[in-house]
Structure 1
């Protein structure tokens, strides 16, 4: 076995090792062991059922279409990696030819070349749909603010443009036979992170406003609408954290550590899982068991002897504002 064969074996084993590590993480996110039908599949069923139990508006039809696309893309991520490893192993090691190991490996690379154009797209589609979900919730909650809606739309369109450009560049890298990370890889992650942080920040501000108004109105019981806001904030924060870690690893891979990294492959797989889980979780949170009748917020003002006229006016104003905000959340669930 000469040095060329050793180099081929090293490249082959590196490819198999990193891809299998990512495949294991992604598969666990798709279907946990000992949990039939799988976490993602179970979430899809619950989310679909919650949509089917409501009137079919255009927005809910769009949400259902998003669920279908997310399911296809997530399944394709797992299918692609598994098929790629099987084909590389078959044409490199199992099919013995007289041309040598180097030629067999190069032939295997050519045979799997058509598959190499697909990897950037499914994950990017799921990321954009996840971004759309959080932007959609913020958009609905702030329908009366034209400036915030413009900012959300601008960020989302910029996000789409950068991520699509990253996918196109990834396909060009296949043609020119280059590998590694590029500026667009980390830039797309940063832009997506900015979109999610801005939209989640707006939802957080709405939650803080509710909490403040409830405190002023001497109402301490937490309602379901407020619970939904808090869960949206927490889930959005977790998703932003995953995106931040991914962006940091890509930056390190681009400018400092150019060799393949197990950590980057794992965090990339975690990002694939979170981008598939997050939209499903948002749909379940917003639609499961919600009812405008149950959500209607009634305030019964109680007066105490120690209240001044100014305190009563301030309390009444706080309750009116809070009731208006709650009605906005209730109306938002119709979208």
Structure 2
């Protein structure tokens, strides 16, 4: 076997470790997401109302998008390494037109589910703020403008991205030896050029959340309810996720000896108790963003719509004009 193919096999083998471990961390994350979804849906189906029906539809869309993200991450990693392995065969890596378009679709639309979840999160935050600010029409108008501009920016960027990618014609039908990395790089360059304005959506989403959480009276009046059943559920979800990430980073992923001749992505710092480098998945930040955009709207629904929620109690005092809790 030529040295070049041995190098390719070694690199793919080391990356397969990351792929397997990414799948292992995604499974419990998805389990926590399902738990939160079930808890959030229960009060929405207990009685019928148009707001609850709208939230139920939003949660179903969040569930579909998050499931899509999990499947897309797994399939894209799997497809990339399988294609590189196939390139080591004597006949090269010959993909038919259908397979080429499947791989291309996975890479092009990988970020869309997370973006949809982000927009749904903004929508739920705006809905929450409209309830918490019953008399402040200035804040309501500002939130509505931010949400509308964020959605418009996302639609324009998405259409522009799809149109430019279709016009470039960079999707080859047959991928020969060492062609696949070049194609992926071309996709990355194209997407980076086409979504230079995506930071606007992130800033707008941050603005929506900042404006919606400046309600000082809510925090002050709801402080007495911090030990309610609903907040315990939220804290349980948060603690579970924190423990999961810390265990994954320091235990299950473990430490890689810097003297080992293995091609794994590692950080550039040393821990106080070991000279080994901490191994972190290459797309760890992306996974955290996808998880956050999916968990946040679920947490908002749990916080508002469950019985004995602090938000329900606070709204009672806001509507009655009571300044202090009894």
Paired with 1:160 and 1:297, the residues of 2 have a C-alpha distance of 29
Paired with 2:13 and 2:97, the residues of 1 have a C-alpha distance of 14
Report the equivalent of 2:42. Answer: 49
Task: Verify the 8 A CA contact 2:5 2:88 in the aligned structure 1.
Answer: no
**Residues 145/227 of structure 1: CA separation in 2 closer, same or farther (3 Å cut):** farther
**Residues 44/226 of structure 1: CA separation in 2 closer, same or farther (3 Å cut):** closer
Once the two structures are superposed, the pairs formed by residues 270-281 of structure 1 within 5 Å of their partners are 270-281=288-299
Task: Verify the 8 A CA contact 1:22 1:269 in the aligned structure 2.
Answer: no
**Residues 198/13 of structure 1: CA separation in 2 closer, same or farther (3 Å cut):** farther
| Greater alpha carbon shift after TM alignment, 154-163 vs 172-181 | 172-181
Once the two structures are superposed, the pairs formed by residues 172-321 of structure 1 within 5 Å of their partners are 174-175=165-166, 176=168, 177-179=186-188, 181=192, 182-201=195-214, 203=215, 205-207=216-218, 210=221, 222-223=224-225, 265-290=283-308, 295=313
Counterpart secondary structure, 1:70: helix
Q: Provide structure 1 residue ranges, at least 5 long, that are not aligned to the other structure.
A: 32-38, 212-220, 236-260, 299-319, 328-335
| Greater alpha carbon shift after TM alignment, 57-66 vs 164-173 | 164-173
Task: Verify the 8 A CA contact 1:297 1:326 in the aligned structure 2.
Answer: no
Deviations 1:214-257 (A, max 9, x none): xxxxxxx925799989x99xx9xxxxxxxxxxxxxxxxxxxxxx
RMSD: 4.6
* TM-score, structure 2 as length reference: 0.62
Paired with 1:21 and 1:171, the residues of 2 have a C-alpha distance of 32
Deviations 1:293-333 (A, max 9, x none): x94999xxxxxxxxxxxxxxxxxxxxx97842689xxxxxx
| Of 135, 138, 158, the match for 2:129 | 138
Paired with 2:33 and 2:298, the residues of 1 have a C-alpha distance of 8
Task: Verify the 8 A CA contact 2:130 2:140 in the aligned structure 1.
Answer: yes
Report the equivalent of 1:81. Answer: 73
Report the equivalent of 1:239. Answer: none
Report the equivalent of 2:114. Answer: 123
**Residues 287/107 of structure 1: CA separation in 2 closer, same or farther (3 Å cut):** closer
Q: Point out the structure with max Rg over C-alpha.
A: 1
Paired with 1:324 and 1:227, the residues of 2 have a C-alpha distance of 26
Aligned residue pair count? 260
